[in-house]
Amino acid sequence: MAAILRTPHPREKRIIFKNIDREGWTTDIDCYEKDGGYEDLRAAFRLTPEQIVNEVKTSSLRGRGGAGFPCGAKWGFIKPGGSKPVYLICNADESEPGTFKDRYIIHQDPHQLLEGMIISCYAVNARLAYIYIRGEFPLGAKILEQAIAEAKGRGYIGSNILGGGFDLEIYVHRGAGAYICGEETGLIESLEGKRPYPRIKPPYFPAVLGLYLSPTVVNNVETLCNVKHIVRMGGAEFAKIGRPNNTGTRVLCVSGDVQKPGYYELEVGALTMGELIYDVCGGLKPGRKLKAVIPGGSSAKVLRADERYKIKSKQSDGTVTEQEIGIDDIRMDFDSLAAVGSMAGSGGVIVMDDSRDMVWALNNINEFYAHESCGQCTPCREGSLWMSKMTGRMLQGGGDQRDPDVLTSVADNIAGRTICAFGEACAWPTQSFVAKFRDEFAAYAAKNGSKAEQA
Amino acid sequence: MEIPSELESRIDEVITHYPASKRSASLPLLHLIQEHFGYITDEAISWVAQKLELEPINILELVTFYPMFRQEPYGKHHIRVCRTLSCAMAGSYSLLKTFCRHAKIDPEQHEHGSHVLKSPDGKYSLEFVECLASCGTGPVCMIDDDFYEAVSEDEAPELLQKYQ
């Protein structure tokens, strides 16, 4: 898969993806060490674990998996000196539709991930760590296992790492095709050898009652890679990249109707949606107009191209000003995407032009969620299937006038009524598609040809 | 069912990865068994359960939940085409049909309890799967453990040719 080497776009700032598509770059440890690999680990061992946690807090790094939770705060929940062992799990389940960044780190730069993980384990005092990798990455799992063996051979993993007295084992654990394993408590259940039914919070916050009911840190692949760079730069320096509360870079994964889909590592918030689509991704296909964007993985609420958004922003003198902007002007960062009613999520940006049928698109998403609901909570298990059956029937020409309202009502009755965030993830697409493209849904609702035929 | 000693020693090694609970080795053991035998029989479920000191239901409930585990043989080569949005926008529905046509698979076949399509000669099985995490290079597919990006319909027959 490294066959095509892509030149980074000039607006990219490559830190995490520095070695992706790099000429002559290989996954072996010699290549990594020649480039200064594992030097940040040596530097980390000169700091105390508390100092590293503090650097990560200072960096304001937010999780790259989807929720955007501050990484330092998450680590801060692990209390040093507890009686139970601490575990660290790297979430490499990468399963949110529209997202494909971790794939490249795993397949092309496994040692960067390992170095980030080892430093993170040292910081939270975890002596045993797992990489939970989705089952559909069999080659990725082999590459990681090979990298772990190499790192053990050089004394970066194992007992008494670099003579510093810290012991650590890392194992690769393969999933088997279930999206819900990306949800951290579902992942933990899966790693315990069970069906991945998410746990209810409280009390099952992983930091308190995680793997084997011990304190556990679960971090995304890209988040763990960032830790290595925070140690090198220092938290304060890292925080200068991007914008306040939206620091660092982010690998945005763009797919759908743009000229140049792909991954682009950008300073968080440095670009607007318009710049991303038209400058970086080469714009839309000839003669096409933008219709909609799903900005943060398939569960993020869809944005309509001609919507206007009122954004409040705090000025340096403390006053708050309100500004009306269009889709092109939305900054690609956590807070701006939340302010327009969607989310930065996992960084998967799906672009749709005016050739796309929104009922078809929603039906595709609904089929995904109906297939992936774990079935634990009734509203989600039943509701995701109902929504999928309804949009499927509408596409077949069996519409009913009540469909748009019933769809919304089903979605409204899932969100907030489930153990995990899958409920919201499957409700948000239906809520937003129906609200924003009501005309298209109404048009399908009015078509009930095949239903009449069947009768 | 005969577990070769080589496989069993791999299994024993994998169990050591989980010092806190042998049960955690369930998924890795099922992967190893499926890789070796092609699918997971009731006998294999009992064997894994015994190995991990669990009840067979603890293993069966995993096999029936996780989409990648199977209780019946697939074709000699198993093709997974990604169905989800970005790949669908890039043409995965017609790619699936093209694979069916060239592999002589009836796309309309419905076997109870299975969504996997098979060619009559047993050479290929085909599955429309959810997101394979390569949305920027759709449509994508996997044949056995190999991954292919931006697969055009013209390429489908050549790809099948590679897997005899």
In a domain, A14, yes or no: no
On chain A, the residues whose CB falls within 8 A of the CB of B32 are: none
On chain A, the residues whose CB falls within 8 A of the CB of B34 are: none
Convert the pLDDT of each residue in A215-233 to its tens digit.
999 999 999 999 999 999 9
One domain, residues A187 and A236? yes
Strands A126-133 and A86-92 turn out to be parallel
One domain, residues A387 and A362? yes
Which pLDDT does position A311 carry in this prediction? 87
One domain, residues A348 and A362? no
One domain, residues A377 and A332? no
Closest CB to B134: pick one of A96, A103, A174.
Answer: A103
In a domain, A435, yes or no: yes
Residues 278-317 in A contacting B (C-alpha not used; CB under 8 Å): 298
Which pLDDT does position A312 carry in this prediction? 84
One domain, residues A305 and A410? no
Distance CA A389, CA A396 (A): 10
- C-alpha distance from residue A259 to each of A23, A277, B151 (Å): 24, 9, 17
Walk across the sheet containing A216-220 and list its strands: A158-161, A166-174, A126-133, A86-92, A216-220
Chain B residue with CA closest to A257: the answer is B89
Q: What is the mean pLDDT of chain A?
A: 95
In a domain, A102, yes or no: yes
One domain, residues A389 and A275? no
One domain, residues A371 and A333? no
**Percent of chain A predicted with pLDDT > 70:** 98
Backbone φ and ψ for A373, nearest 5 degrees, come out as: -60, 135
Instruction: Give the mean model confidence (pLDDT) for residues B105-116.
Output: 79
CA-based nearest distance B65→chain A, Å: 7
Which CATH number is B5-65 given? 1.10.10
The encoded tokens of residue A429 equal: 């697409």
In a domain, A229, yes or no: yes
Judged by CB atoms closer than 8 Å, whether chains meet at B69 and A253 is answered as no
Instruction: Indicate the residue among A353, A382, A414 that finishes a domain.
Output: A353
Q: Where in chain B is the domain with CATH 3.40.30.10?
A: 77-162
CA-based nearest distance A196→chain B, Å: 9
User: What's the topology of domain B77-162?
Assistant: Glutaredoxin (3.40.30)
One domain, residues A171 and A269? no
A80 in B contact zone (CB under 8 Å): no
CA-based nearest distance B1→chain A, Å: 23
One domain, residues A133 and A212? yes
Range of the domain at A346: 248-353
- Contact, A318 vs A70, CB < 8 A? no
DSSP-derived 3-state class of residue A38: coil
Judged by CB atoms closer than 8 Å, whether chains meet at B136 and A364 is answered as no
Judged by CB atoms closer than 8 Å, whether chains meet at B66 and A103 is answered as no
Instruction: Give the mean model confidence (pLDDT) for residues B127-149.
Output: 97
In a domain, A235, yes or no: yes
Spell out which chain B residues touch chain A, with contact meaning CB-CB distance below 8 angstroms. Answer: 17, 19-21, 23-28, 30-31, 52, 58, 61-62, 65-69, 80, 83-86, 88-89, 129-138, 142, 145, 147, 149
A263 in B contact zone (CB under 8 Å): yes
Helix (H) or strand (E) holding A86: strand A86-92
Judged by CB atoms closer than 8 Å, whether chains meet at B69 and A94 is answered as no
Say if residue A367's pLDDT is above 80. Answer: yes
Judged by CB atoms closer than 8 Å, whether chains meet at B135 and A136 is answered as no
Could you tell me the CATH number of the domain that includes residue A412? 1.20.1440.230
- Contact, A256 vs B86, CB < 8 A? yes
Say if residue A4's pLDDT is above 70. Answer: no
Strand locations in A261-417, DSSP E? 262-267, 290-294, 303-304, 308-314, 320-326, 348-353
Q: What is the mean pLDDT of chain B?
A: 95
On chain A, the residues whose CB falls within 8 A of the CB of B66 are: 135, 175-178
Convert the pLDDT of each residue in B9-60 to its tens digit.
999 999 999 999 999 999 999 999 999 999 999 999 999 999 999 999 999 9
Could you tell me the CATH number of the domain that includes residue A307? 3.10.20.600
Helix (H) or strand (E) holding A337: helix A334-339
Instruction: Give the mean model confidence (pLDDT) for residues A325-350.
Output: 95
Say if residue A324's pLDDT is above 50. Answer: yes
Burial of A366 (0-12, 13-18, 19+ CB in 10 A): buried
Instruction: Give the mean model confidence (pLDDT) for residues B140-144.
Output: 98
Judged by CB atoms closer than 8 Å, whether chains meet at B142 and A136 is answered as yes
Of A291, A427, A404, the closest CA to residue A350 belongs to A291
Which pLDDT does position B112 carry in this prediction? 63
Instruction: Give the mean model confidence (pLDDT) for residues B70-91.
Output: 96
Distance CA A62, CA A272 (A): 19
- The ipTM assigned to this model is 0.97
Judged by CB atoms closer than 8 Å, whether chains meet at A100 and B136 is answered as yes
A1 in B contact zone (CB under 8 Å): yes
Residues 211-240 in A contacting B (C-alpha not used; CB under 8 Å): 211-212
Of A444, A441, A373, A380, the closest CA to residue A415 belongs to A380
Judged by CB atoms closer than 8 Å, whether chains meet at A139 and B26 is answered as no
In a domain, A17, yes or no: no
In a domain, A63, yes or no: yes
Give long-range contacts, CB 8 A cutoff, 24+ apart: A280-284: A280/A9, A280/A11, A280/A12, A280/A254, A281/A254, A281/A351, A282/A258, A283/A258, A283/A259, A284/A257, A284/A258, A284/A259, A284/A351, A284/A353
Convert the pLDDT of each residue in A99-145 to its tens digit.
999 999 999 999 999 999 999 999 999 999 999 999 999 999 999 99
A102 in B contact zone (CB under 8 Å): yes
What is the DSSP secondary-structure string of A99-118?
Answer: --SHHHHHHH-HHHHHHHHH
In a domain, A218, yes or no: yes
pLDDT band per the 50, 70, 90 thresholds, residue A2:
very low
**Percent of chain A predicted with pLDDT > 90:** 92
Say if residue B111's pLDDT is above 70. Answer: no
Instruction: Indicate the residue among A206, A240, A274 that finishes a domain.
Output: A240
A–B: how many Cβ contacts below 8 A?
A: 138
One domain, residues A110 and A227? yes
How many domains does chain A divide into? 3
Choose from A189, A194, A259, A433 for mutation: most chain B CBs within 10 A. Answer: A194
Judged by CB atoms closer than 8 Å, whether chains meet at A298 and B85 is answered as yes
* Tokens 């999928």, residue located: A388
Choose from A136, A187, A259, A285 for mutation: most chain B CBs within 10 A. Answer: A136
Closest CB to A193: pick one of B25, B69, B142.
Answer: B25
Judged by CB atoms closer than 8 Å, whether chains meet at A136 and B132 is answered as yes
One domain, residues A147 and A166? yes
Residues 5-64 in A contacting B (C-alpha not used; CB under 8 Å): none
Convert the pLDDT of each residue in A134-191 to its tens digit.
999 999 999 999 999 999 999 999 999 999 999 999 999 999 999 999 999 999 999 9
Task: Flag the least confident range among A217-226, A257-266, A305-314.
Answer: A305-314
Choose from B21, B22, B59, B65 for mutation: most chain A CBs within 10 A. Answer: B65
**Percent of chain B predicted with pLDDT > 70:** 97
On chain A, the residues whose CB falls within 8 A of the CB of B92 are: none
Closest CB to B133: pick one of A100, A171, A262.
Answer: A100
Which pLDDT does position A5 carry in this prediction? 64
Instruction: Give the mean model confidence (pLDDT) for residues A72-80.
Output: 94
CB atoms within 10 A of CB A330: 23
Which pLDDT does position A448 carry in this prediction? 83
Judged by CB atoms closer than 8 Å, whether chains meet at B133 and A194 is answered as no
DSSP-derived 3-state class of residue A223: helix
One domain, residues A118 and A135? yes
Judged by CB atoms closer than 8 Å, whether chains meet at B138 and A255 is answered as yes
Choose from B135, B143, B144, B149 for mutation: most chain A CBs within 10 A. Answer: B135
Instruction: Give the mean model confidence (pLDDT) for residues B63-92.
Output: 96
* Tokens 């085409």, residue located: B81
pLDDT band per the 50, 70, 90 thresholds, residue A455:
very low
Which pLDDT does position B108 carry in this prediction? 85
Which pLDDT does position A200 carry in this prediction? 97
Instruction: Give the mean model confidence (pLDDT) for residues B96-105.
Output: 95
Of A102, A136, A99, A65, the closest CA to residue A261 belongs to A99
Instruction: Indicate the residue among A188, A210, A240 that finishes a domain.
Output: A240
Backbone φ and ψ for A178, nearest 5 degrees, come out as: -110, 120
